[in-house]
Amino acid sequence: VTERSLSISPAELVAWTNSILRQAGASPEAAGAAAASLVDADTRGVESHGVAQLQFYLPRLRTGAIRGDAQPEILVDLPAAALVDGHNAIGAYVGSIAMDFCCEKALRSGVGAVAVRRSNHFGAASWYSERAAERGCIGIALSNSDPGMAPTGALGPILGTNPLAIAAPGAAGMHRPSLDMATSVAAQTRVILAARAGRRIPAGWAIGPDGAPTDDPEQALRGAMLPLAGHKGFALAFMVDVLTGCLAGARISPEIERDPRTPRPQGTGHLFLAIHLDSLCEPHEYAAALQRLTDAVHDAPRTAEADPFLIPGEPEARVAAERFTAIPLTPETVSLLQELGDEFGVAFPLEEVRAP
């Protein structure tokens, strides 16, 4: 930990996250999976799905809503498809096992599909899609989530912010294409972090409990996030629920537990898909097409004011390259981690907070 810059090494943050999850009742495997996924998100600059998520995971472990020692179970096992019961284990543990299982099917059969019921919040969806991309597959990860999104005019949330991620193997010298997004304009935890920092949120992100647009994060948290691209984001979130909650026999997002301090399990559903590239296409043809596609974006003519155009995943890869040895933490995140450290009995290893 370097106190003055308010930063911490990824290894140190993983170690503390692992310890506090263990202290709250997670098994070594479950704590390891969750710590790796959360710190990876912080490393890529996705603070909303980094260690800030511990404020939800730790109380759920304490009440037993997340079962720290549960083992996922395979209910249906076909050559290219499977159904997994997460038994309410920590989401990153269930998801990592399910995506690995899905990739094994894809490497054998060309394609794999694994549906998951009775899981929990699984963090950033790209943790799973990129896992598949590392194994030579196009990976797709979908999840439903607790209800936090509705169109303007709604008097409360209707659907989850149901994320989706698609990652594909990169080619030499190129960024790996990786899309990872909520189906709302922005992930709801970004509003929770803005509320903690006393910041307004951008116009167009959320509505208050009266159904009217708001830039006040407190109002937004009593209201709902807006879907991305209006009706299309809402429709997309609905279909993510069909592919996760309905297909897997999990809870649908309107039924997923929001309150992290009740013992009622979330019952989240996921769907993981993997398509093995070499089974379908010539690797050099794929690489050449991906290169042309990437060049078409990077080299596109633009106005003097426009920022360079990027491909999906490029912003996060650039941040990760800078955070290889040190992850900067905002003062709000530090105070959150210190509070959690006090509450759950594993002090956060940053004794004194200094403004950067």
Q: Compute the least distance from the CB of residue 342 to ligand NAD, in Å.
A: 26
246 DSSP 8-state letter: I
First to last CA, the chain: 13
CA 317 to chain centre: 16
Which of 88, 119, 145, 333 lies at the binding interface for ligand NAD (CB under 6 A)? 145
- Near ligand NAD by CB under 6 A, which window of 3-11, 65-73, 276-284, 309-317? 309-317
Q: Compute the least distance from the CB of residue 27 to ligand NAD, in Å.
A: 21
- Near ligand NAD by CB under 6 A, which window of 78-86, 158-166, 254-262, 344-352? 158-166
- Near ligand NAD by CB under 6 A, which window of 7-15, 112-120, 179-187, 346-354? 179-187
Backbone angles phi, psi at 346, to 5 degrees: -135, 95
Is residue 39 at the binding interface for ligand NAD, with CB under 6 A as the rule?
Answer: no
Is residue 181 at the binding interface for ligand NAD, with CB under 6 A as the rule?
Answer: yes
Q: Can you tell me the distance from the alpha carbon of 87 to that of 93, in angstroms, rounded to the nearest whole number?
A: 11
CA atoms within 13 A on the CB side of 185: 19
Is residue 122 at the binding interface for ligand NAD, with CB under 6 A as the rule?
Answer: yes
Which of 138, 140, 168, 186 lies at the binding interface for ligand NAD (CB under 6 A)? 186
Neighbours of 323 (CB within 10 A): 17
Is residue 187 at the binding interface for ligand NAD, with CB under 6 A as the rule?
Answer: yes
Is residue 36 at the binding interface for ligand NAD, with CB under 6 A as the rule?
Answer: no
Exposed e or buried b per residue across 324-340, where buried means at least 16 C-beta atoms within 10 angstroms of its C-beta: eebbbbeebbbebbeeb
What's the residue count for the chain? 356
Which of 163, 217, 265, 269 lies at the binding interface for ligand NAD (CB under 6 A)? 163
Nearest to 220 by CA among 156, 168, 173, 298: 156
Exposed e or buried b per residue across 5-33, where buried means at least 16 C-beta atoms within 10 angstroms of its C-beta: ebbbbbebbbebbbbbbbbbbbbeebbbb
Is residue 139 at the binding interface for ligand NAD, with CB under 6 A as the rule?
Answer: no
Q: How many residues bind ligand NAD (CB under 6 A)?
A: 26
Which of 15, 80, 179, 246 lies at the binding interface for ligand NAD (CB under 6 A)? 179
Residues that bind ligand NAD (CB under 6 A): 46, 48-49, 121-126, 143, 145, 161, 163, 165, 179-182, 186-187, 190, 310, 312-313, 315-316
